[in-house]
Structure 1
Amino acid sequence: MRFVVVSDSHGDRDILVQLVAQYQDQPVTMLHCGDSELTTDDPLFDQMTVVQGNMDFNGQFPAQVVVPVANERIFLTHGHLYGVNGDLMRLLLAAQENQANLAFYGHTHQLACEMHEGVLLLNPGSIAQPRGQFRDLKGTYAVVDVTPDQYQIQYYNRQFEPVSQLHFTFKRA
Structure 2
Amino acid sequence: MKALIVSDSHGSVKELKQLKEQYEGNVDVMIHCGDSELTSQHVELEGFHVVKGNCDFAFDFPNDIITEVQHTRFLVTHGHLYNIKMTLQTLLYRAKEAEVNVVCFGHSHILGAEIIDDILFINPGSILLPRSRREKTFAVLEIQEGQIDIRFLTLEGVTVAQKTFQIG
Select 2:164's aligned residue among 158, 161, 169. Answer: 169
Is contact 2:76-2:105 (8 Å) kept?
Answer: yes
Q: Is 1:155 matched up with 2:152?
A: yes
Query: Match of 1:141?
Result: 138
User: CA deviation digits over 1:3-50, x for unaligned, max 9?
Assistant: 000000001111000000011341331000000001111122221100
Letter in 2 for 1:143: V
Query: Match of 2:32?
Result: 32
User: How many angstroms does 1:159 deviate by?
Assistant: 1.5
User: Runs of 4 or more off by more than 3 Å in structure 1?
Assistant: none
TM (normalized to structure 2)?
0.96
Letter in 1 for 2:123: N
Q: Report sequence identity in percent.
A: 38
Q: Distance in 2 between matches of 1:48 and 1:25?
A: 12
Query: Match of 2:90?
Result: 90
Q: Distance in 2 between matches of 1:101 and 1:66?
A: 11
Q: Distance in 1 between matches of 2:150 and 2:96?
A: 21
TM (normalized to structure 1)?
0.93
Q: Cα RMSD (Å) of the superposition?
A: 1.1
Long gaps (5+) in structure 2: none
Q: Distance in 1 between matches of 2:142 and 2:162?
A: 11
Q: Distance in 1 between matches of 2:139 and 2:117?
A: 21
Q: Distance in 1 between matches of 2:157 and 2:42?
A: 23
Q: Distance in 2 between matches of 1:45 and 1:12?
A: 11
SS in 1 for 2:140: strand
Letter in 2 for 1:148: E
Long gaps (5+) in structure 1: none
Q: Is 1:68 matched up with 2:68?
A: yes
